[in-house]
Structure formats: C-alpha cells, structure tokens
C-alpha cells in the first residue's frame, strides 16, 4: 500500500469555542491530499498543514463542475475516538466518482489517510453534547483546459471542521415546503452522486422556501412531480400506520448513510421499515385519514430531523401536532449514543481510531 507522508504544522491554531461558531467556518491544522494523473493513477497521499490552494483560471471544475464530495463525522469521548460508518462513506465516494467519471480512489489508502488525519487532529474533536468533527472529503478535476471533456488530472482532499450540536436549542421540528415547480435531479441524471451540481440546482427553490418561512424543500420526482424524493440535505422517512416508509433508491436521490442506519435500527427494534415509491398524494391522504404518525429527515448534519409541518400547493399540513414524534425521538437518542460509544455497537458502525 502507498505510504502516507506526514508533514506537521509548525504552529497550531487556537481552537475556537465550538458552541459559538456556525457550521463549517473553522478548519483544523492539517488536511489530507492526494493527486491523480492519467497514466500514473492516484499517487503521493500526504497529510500536510491546512493551506489555501491555487488553481488555473481555466480549471475545469470551475467551468464544468466535474467534482464530488462526501460528509461524515468523528466523535470523541476521552481516549475513545471513532469515525461513524467511515467505510460506508469511503465506498460512497467511489459511487459518486463513478457517476462523474472520476477515477475511483484506493479504498485502503483513503481509509488509512482518514484515520491518520483524525488521530493527528484528535484534540480538535469537541466533546460536548452533540458536538463532533465534521469530515469533508472531496475530489475535483484539475485540468487547466476549457474544452468540455473528462479531466486527466484530479485532486483528492480531506478537510476537517469542528461543529456544534445541530440543535443548539434542543431537538426541534422543522417546517418543510413540498416543491412542485422546481426539480433537483431526474432519474438518469446525477441525483445519486454527491456532486456540486445537485446543490447548485437546489439553491433557488431553497431561497423561495426560506422567504415563505420554511426551513427546507422536499423534492418531488422530476418527471411526474408525484413521487417523494428527498430533502435538501436529508433523506425523508414517514411513519404511516406503524410502518416506516422511505422512498426507494432509484438513481435520483442520495443513498444516505443515516437513512441506512435508521432502516437497520428500525428492523433491529422490530419496527417494519420499507423502501418503496411513495407519492405526495399518499402522504396527504394518510394525513387526512389520521394514519400519518410522523415525518422526519435523516442526514449526517442533523442525524434526525423531525418535520412539524409540510406545505403543499398552498396548504399547510401539521404533523403530529407540530411536535416531535416518539419514534424520531427514540431513534435520535439511540444514534446519538451509538456515535459516542454509549451503547453496544452491534452493527459495527464505529471505525475506532484509537
């Protein structure tokens, strides 16, 4: 396996008070870097001091967006340091890479680089309730070339950012607007990849939703505007008549790792959980006949996000009296404990760093 070179920073930054900073504003002392060149493959994996990078103004990512990223978290309690579902996230990097025709990264080198980086930066992992170190791996095409084609050079990087508890004022329900005009992705497109284009496509509808007083957008399928897809940065799950239902993976939504965790835990608890097509009409009907018990999002940032209200075609549907559902609360509490090793890791989700 390729050796990972380590160049340590000579001066270390002062660590911020995590409870006072927003998401993704502060970065640790070091980062991971690796290069790709056609004919040579991925090479020179290294951990170096965090620094700005330069790119050509003709950098192909700036113009055509051939790039991917992922997002995961490391947790610490004293000597216990773990990266949650690190292997699944590294595998997903390669799923996204394939969709964008980016050369796949060597799994073992990336996992090793990630663990060495976290080990080196362990003092940056905040230990307060709900706090963690957000990990952002990403790959971008690096050819200085204005032609539209698959790049011949790439950079893979991992940067780290300490983050506060998502729910600084307590676990709270969000209000979501069902979007029936704009679409995020279509089947056959890039929806299953974590790629900048999908986020660029979501910004305008997100702004409109914010202006109307909603936290996020719930996307419908891009063909019929009928089937539920996902939320801006979360997958969506419904509890209808005692059963958890979440949209199936059809190529237009992200295969969320938290979604997988929720499905695995629900099955372990004996709660029926299915992945299938679910239309917005079915959700509204369930609301009207009283069988829609809960709605919640799942994602690395918030873990579980109860939905207190849904807006669709000018009407607001209040879910579960606008409060936190019992299942969402139980799931949040359990995953929160899994993250910090406070319950037995029967699924093997924790990648122990030391």
Interacting residues with ligand PLP (CB under 6 A): 71, 230, 233-235, 254, 256-259, 298-300
Q: How far is CA 314 from CA 292, 317, 320, in A?
A: 19, 10, 19
Alpha-carbon distance values, 286 to 89, 125, 136, 225 (Å) = 34, 43, 38, 18
Helix or strand (DSSP H, E) at 100: none
H or E element that contains 68: strand 67-69
Question: What is the rounded CA–CA span in Å between residue 96 and residue 340?
Answer: 28
Phi, psi of 65 (to 5 degrees): 70, 30
Q: How far is the CB of 219 from ligand PLP (least distance, A)?
A: 9
Residue 114: closest CA among 81, 140, 154, 163: 81
Q: Whole-number minimum distance, CB 288 to ligand PLP, in Å?
A: 28
Q: How far is the CB of 164 from ligand PLP (least distance, A)?
A: 17
Shortest distance, CB of residue 299 to ligand PLP, whole angstroms? 4
Identity of the residue, 131 or 258, whose beta carbon is nearer to ligand PLP in the bound complex? 258
Place of tokens 């097509």: 277
Nearer of residues 61 and 252 to ligand PLP, judged by Cβ: 252
Minimum CB distance to ligand PLP smaller for 47 or for 83:
83
**Spatial separation of the C-alpha atoms in residues 87 and 141, rounded to whole Å:** 23
**Spatial distance between the Cα atoms of 131 and 19, rounded to a whole number of angstroms:** 9
Nearer to ligand PLP, 132 or 235 (CB): 235
Residue 240 is encoded by which pair of tokens? Answer: 């209808």
| Element containing residue 339 per DSSP (H, E) | helix 326-339
The CB-of-254 to ligand PLP minimum distance in angstroms stands at 4
Minimum CB distance to ligand PLP, residue 264 (Å): 12
Identity of the residue, 239 or 259, whose beta carbon is nearer to ligand PLP in the bound complex: 259
């Amino acid at each position: 396996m390729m050796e990972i070179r380590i160049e340590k920073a000579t001066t270390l930054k002062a660590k911020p008070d995590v409870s006072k900073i927003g998401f993704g504003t502060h970065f640790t002392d070091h980062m991971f870097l690796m290069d790709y060149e056609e004919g040579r493959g991925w090479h020179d994996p290294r951990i170096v001091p965090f620094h700005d990078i330069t790119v050509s103004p003709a950098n192909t990512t700036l113009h055509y967006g051939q790039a991917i990223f992922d997002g995961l978290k490391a947790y610490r309690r004293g000597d216990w340091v773990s990266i949650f579902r690190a292997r699944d996230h590294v595998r997903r990097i390669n799923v996204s890479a394939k969709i964008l025709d980016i050369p796949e990264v060597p799994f073992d080198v990336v996992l090793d680089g990630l663990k060495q980086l976290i080990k080196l930066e362990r003092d940056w992992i905040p230990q307060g309730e709900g706090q963690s170190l957000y990990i952002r791996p990403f790959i971008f095409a690096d050819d200085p070339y204005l032609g539209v084609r698959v790049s011949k050079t790439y950079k893979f990087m991992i940067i780290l950012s300490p983050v506060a508890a998502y729910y600084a004022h307590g676990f709270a329900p969000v209000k979501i607007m069902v979007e029936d005009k704009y679409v995020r992705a279509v089947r056959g497109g890039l929806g299953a990849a974590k790629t900048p284009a999908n986020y660029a496509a979501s910004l305008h509808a997100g702004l409109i939703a914010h202006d109307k007083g909603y936290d996020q957008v719930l996307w419908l399928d891009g063909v019929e505007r009928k089937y539920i897809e996902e939320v801006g940065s979360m997958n969506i799950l419904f509890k209808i008549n005692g059963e958890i239902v979440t949209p199936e993976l059809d190529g237009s939504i992200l295969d969320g790792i938290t979604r997988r965790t929720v499905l695995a835990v629900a099955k372990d608890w004996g709660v029926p959980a299915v992945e299938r097509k679910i239309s917005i009409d079915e959700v509204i009907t369930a609301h009207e006949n009283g069988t829609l018990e809960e709605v919640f999002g799942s994602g690395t940032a918030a873990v579980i996000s109860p939905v207190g209200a849904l807006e669709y075609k000018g009407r607001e549907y209040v879910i579960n009296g606008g409060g936190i559902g019992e299942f969402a609360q139980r799931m949040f509490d359990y995953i929160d404990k899994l993250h910090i090793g406070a319950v037995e890791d029967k699924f093997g989700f924790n990648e122990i760093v030391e």
